[in-house]
Amino acid sequence: MNTFFRLLLFLTIIVSLFELQTSKAQNNDILTATQLVSSDSIESYIQHLENYGTRYMIAPNRLEIAEWLQNKFKTLGVDSTRIDTFETYTVKESLGLDTTTVQYNVVATIPGSTNKKIIICGHYDSFSYGDPYHIAPGADDDASGIAACLESARVLSEINYFSEHTIEIIAFAAEELMNYGLGGYDIHAANAEANNDTIDLVIHNDMIGYNDGNRTLYVSNYPNCGTETMMIASICDTYTNLSRHLWPSNEGPYADRAFYNRGYKCVYLEENFSANPNYHQPTDLLKNIDVDYCAEVTKISIGGTMKYDMQDETTSISDISLKDIYFNIHPNPIVTYATIDYELEKSGYIEIAIYDLTGKKLKVLDKGFKMAGLNNISFYNTDFKGLYFIALNLDNKNNVVKKVIFNK
């Protein structure tokens, strides 16, 4: 081995070790982007949307609102925008509703080097008990989510983010009554499926403005979306000051079910909804939400999109860990013998296995039913040399993943 290759090997090991030490460290590009998120911008978007008085899907101002959104995306720097027009039939007896209306999804597209898509979305229509035709301010539900969409468009344009994925930022119409007809989400997801679109990730923002006093954010934990959920959770932990919780995995999906039910991976961000007294009320006003909190949540759409896009294409798992599960491998690097300690909040079926960097499972170290509390396993390494992942899988969901080096 010549000197050059010795040096290269040495540097590679140093870089690998450095990665181990900083696996939860901030990425400079993501940090820069998330720091550009402005509470003032968020506030101005929400104020404008609230000022319509109502954005009820049956009210006559819906095209005016859609056109404002389209122009706003343009002035924020996204050149490619469009309005997708569709008809939907809605019936709800308690509202005296039995009608077909024309509706407008607003789509802003940041082209990437491939047609694979990441969607950032929310809905711009609103609803309120009382007289929704005239009063449904919907500052939180869901002007807050639309504010996240607009601000994501502004920031990703400002940094000239060039992605592998095509990023679609969508303000959906007709969400509020979609249990009684097909809404904007259904129409878009159905078209995507019909076109064989590759949508790798949907980041859905619906009600992200109400701060319960603890800056609580709930991140959905839909079955089969574990990898995406944990990536988003790690962005939340690394780039925001929010108190992050995962939904129980048997909850939802909600408005994003149109995507989820077609097999697309979805993560839904939502405030501590049950604490918000203004839901679907005339009091859902800007003055009752916290724009700084909304700005923090917005960082997740931007950071999550960038993080997902930056992942090595072949790497289906990444080095992330959930707050909820303690998982420690020592020593690391591993020479011949190592111990893994992990703590479960509740009992369940686990599997711990070694994966290669492409996410291919190579060897199961332990599996079976484990009691809540601290557990550990030890193992001898006889097979592996180099960089691998070890992942813990709980009830086929919560992957906790750590990078390890085997120095056999």
Q: In the bound complex, what is the minimum distance in angstroms from residue 274's beta carbon to Zn ion?
A: 14
**Closest to Zn ion by CB, 206 or 271:** 206
Task: Fill in the amino acid letter for 135.
Answer: I
Q: In the bound complex, what is the minimum distance in angstroms from residue 60's beta carbon to Zn ion?
A: 21
Please say whether the beta carbons of 326 and 342 come within 8 A. yes
Q: What's the N-to-C CA distance of the chain in angstroms?
A: 19
**Closest to Zn ion by CB, 141 or 168:** 141
Q: In the bound complex, what is the minimum distance in angstroms from residue 37's beta carbon to Zn ion?
A: 21
290-328: b (≥16 Cβ within 10 Å) or e: bbebbbbbbbbbbbbbbbbbebeeeeebbbbbbebbebe
**Structure-derived torsion over alpha carbons of residues 202, 190, 166, 73, reported in degrees to the nearest 10:** -80
DSSP code of residue 273: G
Backbone angles phi, psi at 241, to 5 degrees: -105, 25
Please say whether the beta carbons of 40 and 79 come within 8 A. no
Copy the structure tokens of residue 120. 């950032």
DSSP run (H or E) holding 344: strand 337-344
Q: In the bound complex, what is the minimum distance in angstroms from residue 279's beta carbon to Zn ion?
A: 9
**Closest to Zn ion by CB, 78 or 189:** 189
In 3D space, the residue among 383, 332, 329, 391 whose CA is nearest the CA of residue 359 turns out to be 391
Rg of the chain over CA atoms, in angstroms? 23
Q: In the bound complex, what is the minimum distance in angstroms from residue 123's beta carbon to Zn ion?
A: 6
Point out which residues bind Zn ion (CB under 5 A): 141-142, 206
**Closest to Zn ion by CB, 141 or 186:** 141
**Closest to Zn ion by CB, 268 or 388:** 268
Number of H helices, E strands in the chain: 9, 15
**Closest to Zn ion by CB, 139 or 350:** 139
Q: In the bound complex, what is the minimum distance in angstroms from residue 169's beta carbon to Zn ion?
A: 17
**Closest to Zn ion by CB, 228 or 270:** 270
Q: In the bound complex, what is the minimum distance in angstroms from residue 270's beta carbon to Zn ion?
A: 9
Backbone angles phi, psi at 173, to 5 degrees: -100, 160
